[in-house]
């Protein structure tokens, strides 16, 4: 990537999309989205209220029930999805810059990770649009019995701010392929790229009402969850929000899928390729400013290599380049907002008072924006807050362990179960760990390897259901059994 600073993008769209029209909120209110680099307002977007949500749900219902989307030839649906992916690729530089502006993530990540993964996800699911087939079932008696996979209906999709474009693609891809229509609420911290994607979806020719975007805070999300015209909720965010969503969705028994947080164990055995494991530990935690649901935030290192490993890790953490995310050399930008910044700083304080050793970082970087120095805590014990709670920031806890038997129990001693990783040259040890750890994804000698085809989601309080892959599509379908008499 060239070393010159990338220019900030032009903001094209700051209204929300309901039934093909770009609108203000019916309540007339707007709210600001803030640049985390300098804490200045970037733009104002509508604060969607219940009436706006109602209008969006009605538009989505109409598009579902009488619009062309789910009745369209499935191959044409796939073609329109591919067209959206193509338009995102054509406008990759602009979308990446807008993502960096709104979220603060380094431009090199927006360009080489977020955008390519999002485009790939839409293309992957575009390919599924015409491959949703049912079964023929040999039942007792003189009958012909078969199943059909039909779209679940209107999908309410509520996403967070850590990967705004990618989360939108993970949600739109399977919903559109299945023939569902959508009411999406992007996170209040990062609404801009979702609005731009919705513009591109219009340009691609996806019919009015198929994708509706309502901007707003949590209460806008809650209005979507409670609305009787919504059939399913797909949510990514905090488990406490998911708990509220379950309660709010109970009245209408909506289908629910959740992708929540984690405290993922990253386990390094003494026989591992040390440098690869150090690099994996750094990437697995500090990528995206530590704002990853699957961050390897509990780093367990086997005792014989513990000291050497920690030295190398600290040296590596110190090489991270903080600063202007529009500089292609920057590897770490600011945290997304002041709430996240405060939360992380309070965990750093807790780590220090609970007796962990802060070997590097532990402070704010600069005096403007929400930057935090890459922080490594050693001598962490299992019961400390920094080893138990999701911090969602650039704070890595390193814990020593004795042997393979002990580590499984400690790795599983958490209410989360999103991801885990193991570093070893011993194949049997790797498989044993993979089979015993209670987590939805296990990486062996790698970290954060994502693919639209590979299911992702959590055990325990890290989620319900899976996204990506064929199973991600199934969550947007209802199975219908048809039985016909042959007499």
Catalytic positions: 259, 293
Phi, psi (rounded to 5 degrees) for 228: -65, -15
The nearest distance, CB 104 to ligand NAI, in angstroms, is 14
- What is the smallest separation between the CB atom of 421 and ligand NAI, expressed in angstroms? 17
Q: Judged by CB, which is closer to ligand NAI: 162, or 424?
A: 162
From residue 192, alpha-carbon distances to 15, 122, 197, 210, 326 in Å are: 9, 19, 9, 19, 17
Q: Of 135 and 240, which CB lies nearer to ligand NAI in the complex structure?
A: 240
Minimum Å distance from CB 315 to ligand NAI? 28
Distance CA 291, CA 283 (A): 12
Element (H, E) at 431: helix 427-436
By C-beta, is 42 or 314 nearer to ligand NAI?
42
- Residue 263 CB, shortest distance to ligand NAI, in Å, is 10
Contacts to ligand NAI by CB under 6 A: 158-160, 162, 185, 187-188, 217-218, 221-222, 225, 236-238, 241, 244-245, 259-261, 293, 340, 343, 390, 392
- State the Cα–Cα distance between residues 149 and 129, nearest whole angstrom: 11
291, 336 contact by CB (below 8 A):
yes
Q: How far is the CB of 236 from ligand NAI (least distance, A)?
A: 5
Nearest to ligand NAI of 122, 158 (CB atom): 158
Provide the edge-to-edge strand list for the sheet that holds 463-464.
21-23, 16-18, 211-213, 181-185, 154-158, 232-236, 255-259, 463-464
* Contact by Cβ (8 Å): 210, 81: no
- When CB distances to ligand NAI are compared, the closest residue is 221
Alpha carbon of residue 479 to chain centroid: 27
Place of tokens 């440098």: 275
Contact 408/433 with Cβ under 8 angstroms?
yes
- Two tokens, residue 98: 């807008």
CB 291 within 8 A of CB 390: no
Cβ nearer to ligand NAI, comparing 244 with 352: 244
């Amino acid at each position: 990537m060239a070393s010159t600073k990338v220019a900030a993008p032009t903001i094209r769209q700051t209204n929300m999309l309901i039934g093909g029209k770009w609108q203000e909120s019916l309540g007339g209110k707007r709210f600001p989205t803030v640049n985390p680099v300098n804490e200045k307002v970037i733009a104002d977007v509508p604060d969607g209220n219940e009436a706006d949500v109602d209008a969006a749900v009605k538009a989505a219902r109409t598009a579902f029930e009488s619009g062309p989307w789910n009745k369209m030839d499935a191959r044409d649906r796939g073609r329109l999805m591919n067209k959206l992916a193509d338009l995102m690729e054509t406008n990759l530089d602009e979308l990446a810059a807008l993502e960096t502006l709104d979220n603060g993530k380094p431009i090199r990540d927006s360009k080489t990770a977020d955008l390519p993964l999002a485009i790939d996800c839409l293309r992957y699911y575009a390919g599924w649009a015409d491959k949703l087939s049912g079964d023929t079932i040999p039942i007792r008696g003189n009958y012909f019995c078969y199943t059909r996979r039909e779209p679940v209906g209107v999908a309410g999709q509520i996403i967070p701010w850590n990967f705004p474009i990618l989360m939108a693609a993970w949600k739109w891809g399977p919903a559109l392929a299945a023939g569902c229509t959508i009411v999406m609420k992007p996170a209040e911290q990062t609404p801009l790229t979702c609005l731009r994607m919705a513009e591109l979806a219009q340009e691609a020719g996806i019919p009015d009402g198929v994708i509706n975007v309502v901007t707003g805070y949590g209460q806008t999300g809650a209005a979507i969850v409670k609305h009787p015209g919504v059939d399913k909720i797909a949510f990514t965010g905090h488990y406490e929000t998911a708990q509220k969503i379950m309660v709010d969705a109970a009245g209408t028994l909506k289908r629910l899928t959740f992708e929540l947080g984690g405290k993922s164990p990253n386990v390094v055995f003494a026989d591992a390729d040390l440098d690869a494991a150090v690099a994996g530990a750094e990437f697995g935690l500090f990528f995206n400013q530590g704002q990853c649901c699957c961050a390897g935030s509990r780093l367990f290192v086997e005792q014989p290599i513990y000291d050497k490993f920690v030295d190398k890790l600290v040296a590596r953490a110190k090489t991270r380049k903080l600063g202007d995310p529009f500089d292609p050399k920057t590897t770490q930008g600011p945290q997304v907002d002041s709430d996240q910044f405060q939360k992380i700083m309070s965990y750093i304080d807790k780590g220090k008072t609970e007796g962990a050793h802060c070997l590097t970082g532990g402070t704010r970087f600069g005096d403007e924006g929400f930057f935090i120095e890459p922080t490594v805590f050693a001598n962490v014990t299992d019961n400390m807050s920094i080893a138990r709670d999701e911090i969602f920031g650039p704070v890595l806890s390193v814990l020593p362990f004795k042997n393979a038997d002990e580590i499984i129990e400690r790795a599983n001693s958490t209410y989360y179960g999103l991801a885990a990783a193991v570093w070893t040259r011993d194949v049997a040890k790797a498989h044993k760990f993979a089979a015993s750890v209670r987590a939805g994804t296990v990486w062996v000698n790698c970290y954060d390897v994502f693919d639209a085809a590979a299911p992702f989601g959590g055990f325990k309080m890290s989620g319900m259901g899976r996204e990506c892959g064929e199973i991600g599509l199934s969550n947007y379908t209802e199975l219908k059994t048809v039985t016909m008499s042959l007499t």
